[in-house]
Amino acid sequence: MKDYMKSLINDEKRFDGRKLNEFRNVSVTNNVSENAEGSAIVKIGDTEVIAGVKMATTVPYPDSPDDGTLMVTAEFLPMANPDFSAGPPSIQAIELARVIDRGIRESKMVDMKKLCITKGELVWMAFIDLYIINDDGNLIDAAALAAIAALKDAFMPKLDKENKLLHELSSKKLPIIEDRVPLTCTVFKIGKNLFVDPVLAEEKENDARISIGISSEGDINSMQKGGITALTLDEIDQAVELAKKATDDLRKILK
Amino acid sequence: MSKLLVEERNLVIPGQEVATGIDYLPSVGTAREGENIIATRVGLLTLKGRVLKVIPLRGKYIPKVGDTVIGRISDVGMSGWRVNIGWAFVASLRLAEASERFIPRDADLTNYFDVGEYVACKITRTTVSRYIDVTAKGPGLRKLDTGRIIKCDSSKVPRIIGKKGSMISMLKEASDCRIMVGQNGIVWISGQDSDKELLVEKTIRLIEERSHEHGLTDVVSKYLEDNKQNG
Amino acid sequence: MAKAFKRNDGRKVDEMRPMEAKLGVVKSAEGSAMFKAGKTIAIAAVRGPREVVPAHKQRADRGLLRCTYDLLSFSVNDRKRPGPSRRSSEIGMVIENALLPAMDLSDWPYTSVDLYVYITQADAGTRCAGINAAALALADAGIPMKELVSAVAVGKVDGQVIVDIDKHEEDQGEFPTDIPVAMMPNSGKVTLLQLDGKITKDELNSALKLAEKSCKEIQEVQKQAIRAKYVSKEESK
């Protein structure tokens, strides 16, 4: 019984009858929270994540006086999974936020120069906040997709003459460079087989996982290996192939 | 004059007056409020003699002596095991209740049941729902070491089993799987291959979703028929 | 003579914003619901009864209700720092107290029913929308209750008593007065009452009368949401 999942994956079968490289139904709904500059709900099967973008003005870092900044945070709401508890972010929530933060940052999908208001004095800061509503596995991919969908949905707020933030959005979208937008696919390993998009029951049994952020041009922007089992170079190569195919499909859903 | 205000088998909502007068008696899921009896849970109203009861449509399993349940071993101790049966508190499976065979005092208990393994057991004792004793001795009670485990809402168990076990018999026959339904909503399915087990799981999900409908047996039998041909 | 009072969105003084309610919005929870009043959206989910950790908080005579309330960071105009605040802790507590009078947890000592309420979009009245969603989530989880608790914010704006105050009205005129009220409408009992502002005794009385009438209407919306989950499929056949 304890090896049920292992033997299932070994036979190239899934708990819910899917193929190894097959995602569950994915849906993206934008503009789900009106006070946010941009927002999205992403569902992958029964997994559900809500993301929102808020903009604020701040002083730039001295080493990049004309660059805006961004920050990703994640909260695993205790209602999403009986194992989550209220309080400060768990290590899982911190890892998830940081993996997604790096994917967005390193892809340079947000044109940071355009987020400069006054060089050396005032720049925009984008807060991308993620909340896990229901956990049925594969949170990183769902959260990463939600973050991207919310960013693409976001409009810049208006500023008054003194550059004070007004609670009103302009008709200008956040400066996104479409070709660079990364999507994330996490490839999981049980036994000798690799697969994507686990349900919670499969995820609990995984030996290793690797999250891969890939731009629409096919460049890899971020990677994070998880779990305590090692991967071979060949497996990493296979994982990148799986992730490429999966992110291509996700990109079609995102539009 | 006493009067029933809601027809039997109809949906009731907490606070809803279901009967008036002193001739009716409230039991599970109902309460007396002055002259009236009100529902206190979402469910279907039933009347047995003069006693009113609400059959819940959802809710956590609450342990009852005599229930056969399926649990997951959560801890192995010196003189027995802890079993998670889906209630707020874990149950105790004592050494003497674990097997028909004699287990020596110095035996390695993980050879009998290890953490993470599932066991079909029966509840023998409870006190204020906090201390629960179970036994794995008795017909059908044992370790479940093949197949898949799925979790259902315990209120759906009567529908999954069906009248006199009719639904479960139909499922077993169509799938060739061995199936055991714990009163706590944990279901064990074990068959020749995982596709058959998956068919049983999907059928049970269908029963769960449509459990409050009439003519469920026909729906299920058609579903099994359709999917057998595909498979 | 006072000029006729006009509401920003054209509602009558005793008219609530359009409401929507839905059960089962958090798949893995024992019970869950969404409640929407105008632009305010609350989701609530229930887990339990489950063992109270830490154990010293367990009670031998009854189970506990423990509520967590929070605004999502982007649900408000100025981003709210993620995580609990003094405000959210207090509101969690008053939501607990608003629901407990309708509940009986004496059958489940040592346990807790954990209730989570989150506001995904805020336009005032968030604790009231939260209570309306929470009552539905508890019903969905099969937790026994004497009746569904319903809540609305009444108040006084520019000298006029009105119901279901929105964000615009909350900041309107001198001494805007906000009065969140939760009730068990069948028995006419008030389970939550807070007040910020300035109001006379007579005005308060008429505001509470208005709250009572409105809570009855809200309870109908809640009941309809429960029926929709279980009855609609059969009737639509």
Q: Is A16 on the interface with B (CB under 8 A)?
A: yes
* Contact across the interface for C109 and B31, Cβ inside 8 Å: no
Q: Tell whether B33 is within 8 A of chain A (Cβ).
A: no
User: At the top level of CATH, which class does the domain C19-235 belong to?
Assistant: alpha beta
Domain boundaries, chain C: 19-235
User: Cα dist. A220→A112, A179, A184, C74 in Å?
Assistant: 20, 13, 10, 30
Side chain identity at B62, as an amino acid letter?
A: I
Q: How far is A19 from chain B (nearest CA, A)?
A: 12
Residues B171, B225 within the same domain:
yes
Q: Which residues of chain B lie closer than 8 angstroms to A15, CB-CB?
A: 148, 198
Structure tokens at B212: 């409050």
User: What is the average per-residue pLDDT within B163-191?
Assistant: 96
Q: d(Cα C76, Cα C73) in Å, to the nearest integer?
A: 7
Among the candidates B144, B173, B199, a domain finishes at: B144
- DSSP assignment, residue B96? G
Q: Supply the mean pLDDT for chain B.
A: 93
Is C24 a residue whose pLDDT tops 80? yes
Express as a percent the part of chain B with pLDDT over 70: 98
C234 pLDDT higher than 70: no
Can you say how many angstroms the Cα of residue C234 is from the centroid of all Cα atoms in its chain? 30
pLDDT of residue C237: 38
Question: Is pLDDT at C235 greater than 50 in this prediction?
Answer: no
Q: How many whole angstroms from its chain centre is CA B139?
A: 18
- Residues C151 and C140: their CA atoms lie apart, in Å, by 18
- Looking at the fold, whether B153 and B135 belong to one and the same domain comes out as no
Domain CATH code at residue B13:
2.40.50.100
Distance CA B137, CA B99 (A): 6
Provide the domain count of chain B.
Answer: 3
The answer to whether A224 and A143 are in contact (CB under 8 A) is: no
Contact B191, B197 (CB under 8 A): yes
Q: Which of C117, C134, C131, C123 is nearest to C40 (CA)?
A: C123
Q: Is C72 on the interface with A (CB under 8 A)?
A: yes
Domain boundary among B14, B36, B56: B56
Question: How many CB atoms lie under 10 A from the CB of residue B23?
Answer: 11
**What is the secondary structure of C49-111 as a DSSP string?**
EEE-SSGGG--SS--EEEEEEEE-TTSSSSPPPSS--HHHHHHHHHHHHHHGGGB--TTSTTE
For the segment B40-60, the average pLDDT, to the nearest whole number, is 94
3-state secondary structure of B54: strand
pLDDT at C1: 42
Are A53 and A126 in contact by the 8 Å Cβ rule? The answer is: yes
Query: Contact, B65 vs B123, CB < 8 A?
Result: yes
The verdict on B230 touching A (C-beta cutoff 8 Å) is no
pLDDT value, residue A2 = 63
3-state DSSP of C124-187: CCHHHHHHHHHHHHHHHCCCCECCCCEEEEEEEECCEEEECCCHHHHCCCCCCEEEEEEEECCC
* Contact across the interface for C146 and B130, Cβ inside 8 Å: no
Whether B62 is in a domain gets the answer no
pLDDT tens per residue across span A132-185: 999 999 999 999 999 999 999 999 999 999 999 998 999 999 999 999 999 999
CB within 8 Å of chain B, chain A residues 164-193? none
**Domain of residue B167, CATH code:** 3.30.1370.10
Predicted confidence (pLDDT) per residue in A24-66, tens digit? 999 999 999 999 999 999 999 999 999 999 999 999 999 999 9
Q: What average pLDDT does the structure give for chain C?
A: 93
Domain ranges of chain A: 4-254
Q: How many CB atoms neighbour CB A33 within 10 A?
A: 26
| pLDDT of res. B230 | 55
Q: Do C163 and C13 touch, CB atoms closer than 8 A?
A: yes
Give the contacts of B6 (CB within 8 A, at least 6 positions apart): B12, B16, B18, B19, B45
Stretch A54-80: mean pLDDT, rounded?
96
Q: How many CB atoms lie within 10 A of CB A165?
A: 15
Q: Would you say residue B63 lies in a domain?
A: no
Cα separation, B70 vs B178, whole angstroms? 14
Q: Which tokens go with A229?
A: 């089992």
* Two structure tokens written together for A14: 């899934």
Start-to-end Cα distance in chain B: 59
Chain A neighbors of B146, CB-CB under 8 A: 1, 4
Residue ranges of chain C whose CB lies within 8 Å of a chain B CB: 30-31, 48-51, 102, 104, 107-111, 139-148, 184, 186, 219, 223, 226-227, 230-231, 233-234
Percent of chain C with pLDDT over 90: 87
Long-range contacts of range A172-179, CB-CB < 8 Å, 24 or more positions apart? A174/A37, A174/A38, A174/A53, A174/A55, A174/A110, A174/A126, A175/A110, A175/A111, A175/A114, A175/A115, A176/A109, A176/A110, A176/A111, A176/A151, A176/A152, A177/A108, A177/A109, A177/A110, A177/A111, A178/A216, A179/A215, A179/A216, A179/A217
Q: Which of C204, C190, C151, C196 is nearest to C170 (CA)?
A: C196
- Second CATH level (architecture) for the domain A4-254: 2-Layer Sandwich (3.30)
Sheet holding C177-184, edge to edge: C160-163, C150-157, C177-184, C189-193
Tell me, what DSSP letter sits at residue A220?
Answer: E
Residue B181 covered by a domain: yes
Give yes or no for C69 touching A (CB within 8 A): no
Interface contacts B/C by beta carbons within 8 Å = 85
Structural domain harbouring B134: 68-144
Tokens read off for A137: 């596995």
Q: Please answer yes or no on whether A15 and B148 come within 8 Å at the CB atom.
A: yes
pLDDT band at B105 (very low <50, low <70, confident <90, very high): confident
pLDDT digit string (tens) for C59-117?
999 999 999 999 999 999 999 999 889 999 999 999 999 999 999 999 899 999 999 99
Query: If DSSP codes are grouped into helix, strand and coil, which group holds residue C24?
Result: coil
Residue B143 has pLDDT above 80, yes or no: yes
For chain B, helix, strand, coil in percent to 5 are 25, 35, 40
Which of A174, A160, A86, A79 has the alpha carbon at shortest distance from A126? A174
Q: Identify residue B102 by its one-letter amino acid code.
A: F
| Closest chain C CA to residue B211 | C230
Contact A15 B146 (CB under 8 A): no
Confidence (pLDDT) at C167: 94
Tell me the pLDDT tens digit for each residue of A107-137: 999 999 999 999 999 999 999 999 999 999 9
For chain B, the chains sharing at least 3 beta-carbon pairs closer than 8 angstroms are A, C
Neighbours of A208 (CB within 10 A): 18
Global pTM value:
0.93
Q: Is the pLDDT of residue C236 over 80?
A: no
At A177-223, the pLDDT tens digits run 999 999 999 999 999 999 999 999 999 999 999 999 999 889 999 99
Could you read off the pLDDT of B52-96 as tens digits, one per residue? 999 999 989 999 999 999 999 999 999 999 999 999 999 999 999
CA A51-A52-A54 angle, 5° bins: 155
Answer yes or no: do B138 and B175 share one domain.
no
Within 8 A by CB and 6+ apart from A168, the residues are: A157, A158
Sort out which chain B residues have CB atoms less than 8 A from C143's CB and list them.
Answer: 41, 59
Q: Is the dihedral angle over the CA atoms A232, A237, A238, A242 positive or is it negative?
A: positive
Query: CATH number of the domain that B88 lies in?
Result: 2.40.50.140
Mean pLDDT of C158-181: 92
- CB of A167 within 8 Å of a chain C CB? The answer is yes
Task: Give me the residues paired with residue A124 across strands.
Answer: A57
Cβ-Cβ pairs closer than 8 A, A with C, add up to 86
- B206, two tokens: 């269908």
pLDDT given at position B214: 81
**What separation in angstroms does the CA of C161 have from each of A63, C150, C199?**
56, 19, 10
